[in-house]
Amino acid sequence: MSNWKISLASAFLFLAFGSISAAQALEGFTPLFNGKDLTGWKGLVADPPRRAKMSPEELAKAQEAADQRMRDHWKAADGVLVFDGKGDNLCTARDYGDFELLVDWKILKDGDSGIYLRGSPQVQIWDRAEGSGGLYNNQKNPSKPLVMADKPVGEWNAFRIKMAGDRVTVHLNGVLAVDNVVMENYWERDKPIYPTGSIELQNHGNTLYFRNLYIRELAVSGGTEAGKAVLKKGARVAIAGDSITEQRLYSKFMEDYLLACVPQLELRMIQLGWSGERAPGFAARMENDLFPYRPDVVTTCYGMNDGQYRIYEPPIGEAYAQSMRDIVSRLQAKGAAVVVGSPGAVDTYSFKRGNLAPKDYNENLAHLRDLAREIAGEAGMPFANVHDAMIAAMAKAKPALGEAYDVCGSDGFHPQPNGHIVMAYAFLKALGLDGEIGTITVDMKGGAAASEGHQVLSSSAGKVEVESRRWPFCFYGDGRSPGSTKSIVPFVPFNDDLNRLTLVVKNLGAERAKVTWGSSGKSFSKAELEKGINLAAEFLDNPFSEPLSKLDALVAKKQAFETNLIKEVITRFRNAGELLGGDEEGQKALETLRRRLFARHQRLEDEARLAVAPVRHTIVVTPEF
């Protein structure tokens, strides 16, 4: 059968089961299961280290026995792989390296299963409150899913799993469950995950069902969703995008963070948001608006308008991809790194646009997200997954704060401050920042220490005074309002991933202690304090709240100037030189205007930078007897 016929058959199966569109089925996926028998599958023989020690003869004999057990307990019935609850895992007959896997699965009450990647456990499947999709056996890296996205027990669920290198991304029923997390080697903890291995359908003695198993092998590329650090000391960073960028909120939060949380990098920034813009528009104005700034790093966020507010069709993706590839290649030619951002999302409640449902437009934006990821991978550049970060935040926030709590804006697509925090999180994470703001250690028997960026000024009897050059990021406002940044904190891992100012307490002579930081106090167990608590997460109102608020106002003033600078002068005056012809005096006047405007911009930049001065603060640890 030709590849075309295989792909077309796949498309019909996907349409029948409602797992994936025909367009996606034709994107190079091939079936792992033919729907009729166990061709292409084998039984499980031990684990990878034990198999590696077997001689060829021993392995062949063990495989023959394992295949017989497989046939006794795994069956193909009506296009579904069914496991009777006895026997061992089912393994692909061949090994895979980097791949994207599509699979539907169904379990019964209290079911427990999983999918081994490269022969290693596992992407979790089970009937538990935390939900499926997590990398259950991780110890150092996240093991739980970002959100519970399972359908009720007994209904079909759909995984889309991407494994590139040692990193895994999992979508469950279209919702991001695992975001580019390192998968650890369960069998040999001191080694990285194996570069190749089989895909296994795991069982724990339950009746299981799988169908629609398709795989697409991936070429190894440098593009990653949580890219290696691209920010070098003194780098010039440009933030480009459409009207969502011109709102000057996620760009402001990014600049606040880069100035205050990593001041040692001494970065300089500019935002270039333009309302209504699509990727071709930015490509057309880069020469005039961006290149004179000589950026070292550029973040892009296009796609919301490129989707044209209608159901996705291939020409939409083709036009978007052509312009984004042009943008990335031209910036690379100038020596700049590019963080290729996906479009965001539309709100599942507040987005109202004729007959276009939020689900339909989010599917359109998801196509553009996939193209952005592909383009980043081709160029070896970081990818910022803005779309899935916002979808995940909505899935968590709305059940807690109400369906009308908008994450993507009251109009459905221009986020309020809460959604912009999610966007900033996605971009900062893609920039490769490690999130370590610092560690302060208090020894209750005497003495204290602090990591780089912080200096202990004095300490005695559990009280320590510290001067910090590195600040934690802070959040503000009503804890239930989308107009505040504080309301979204429980639903996005900003503090866990990007904002860790850790307090460690040693030799506590009680089972609990009260920690007072600034004007707030909170009780913690001895075990928690010995392990370390994240002050930034535990004390949202803290000694850095006021200084960061002042910095935020200065950055807002600077970025408002940038919008006017670009839109009212740099762009609109770009043909002025031609109109002046050979008028030397006029040309000099234009150059003087440009020079003075950029001097004004630098003064505003310096004003914000100087606001990040060392902050003195006191931590008191009081044993509770």
Range with the poorest average pLDDT among 140-144, 295-299, 318-322, 559-563: 140-144
pLDDT of 54 reads: 86
283, 323 contact by CB (below 8 A): yes
Determine the Cα–Cα distance for residues 492 and 384; give it in Å rounded to an integer.
15
Query: Does 358 score more than 80 pLDDT?
Result: yes
The model's pLDDT over 585-601, given as tens digits with 9 standing for 90+, comes to 888 888 888 889 889 99
Residue pLDDT, tens place only, 443-499 = 999 899 999 999 999 999 899 999 999 999 999 999 999 999 999 999 999 999 999
* Residue spans of beta strands (DSSP E) within 353-409: 383-384
* Per-residue pLDDT tens digits for 305-318: 999 999 999 999 99
Q: Is the pLDDT of residue 3 over 90?
A: no
Same fold, 32-217 and 236-430: no
Q: How confident is the model at residue 220 (pLDDT cuts 50, 70, 90)?
A: low
pLDDT digits (tens, 9 = 90+) for 473-487: 999 999 999 999 999
C-alpha angle 353/272/471, rounded to 5°?
Answer: 105
Q: Where are the domains of the chain?
A: 32-217, 236-430
Global pTM reads: 0.78
CA–CA separation, 194 and 211 (whole Å): 26
β-strand partners of 253: none
Beta strand pairing call for 236-241 and 268-271: parallel
3.40.630.30, 1.10.3210.10, 3.40.630.10, 2.60.120.560: CATH of 32-217: 2.60.120.560
Q: What is the CATH number of domain 236-430?
A: 3.40.50.1110
256 touches 551 (CB < 8 A): yes
